[in-house]
Amino acid sequence: MAGHAAGAPYDRTVATCGIVDLPPSWIEQTRPGGVILATLGGWMYSSELARLTVHEDGTASGRFLGGQISFMLARPQQPPPLGTLPDLDQGNERQALLGADADADADALNDWNTRFVAQLAAPRTQRITLDRDGRTEHVLIDVNAGSWAALTETDGAWTVRQGGPDRIWDAIEDHVNRWREHGAPELDRFTVSGR
């Protein structure tokens, strides 16, 4: 993730791995006006190819190119081991505004673009699916923060239980619903920036 400072500055930096955070060293090693091409995503594994231009002030910005591009994440940006799962029967429970099923109109986890927007709200969150007590649970866990959310569906209605210091599903619903209120624009309309 440190790049190759000995040959810098570069006109182009192209990453053939996925990243969660744009390494500052890549910006530092790309000359102003130069381009960084990198696949950006999160730990829920929805990603897009981004083309960023480096600016004189040491920042970079650009747009996603679209097309649902993915690469294996760079080793330093892999998610941490899940460890022991939290007690999913605990936490605060409420009716969920969004579900996790690909067949539902309000799903947030199985549609590529919707999942990308969801992980903007929770980029360090991992997703697993469990079959427990005769039902499928969609579990989101932020290991480092100690936060989690578990979604279940019964007769078409979704329930979420959340625990830890952050309410992961509250943040995801807020992001996804605001995106949808603006017409659910394609990801190639998003602006990306880094420093």
pTM, whole model, 2 decimals? 0.86
Q: Which residues contact 7 (CB under 8 A, 6 or more apart)?
A: none
The pLDDT of residue 1 is 67
Q: Round to whole Å and give the CA distance between 30 and 160.
A: 44
CA dihedral of 70, 53, 3, 117, whole degrees rounded to 10: -30
The pLDDT of residue 45 is 87
- Low-confidence residues in the chain, pLDDT < 70: 1, 101-107
Contact between 101 and 107 under an 8 Å Cβ cutoff? The reply is yes
The pLDDT of residue 48 is 92
The pLDDT of residue 106 is 53
Going edge to edge, which strands form the sheet with 92-95?
A: 92-95, 157-163, 147-154, 135-142, 126-132
Q: What does the block give as tokens for 30?
A: 């790309």
Question: Residue 194: what residue type?
Answer: G
The pLDDT of residue 68 is 83
User: pLDDT tens, 52-69?
Assistant: 999 999 999 999 998 788
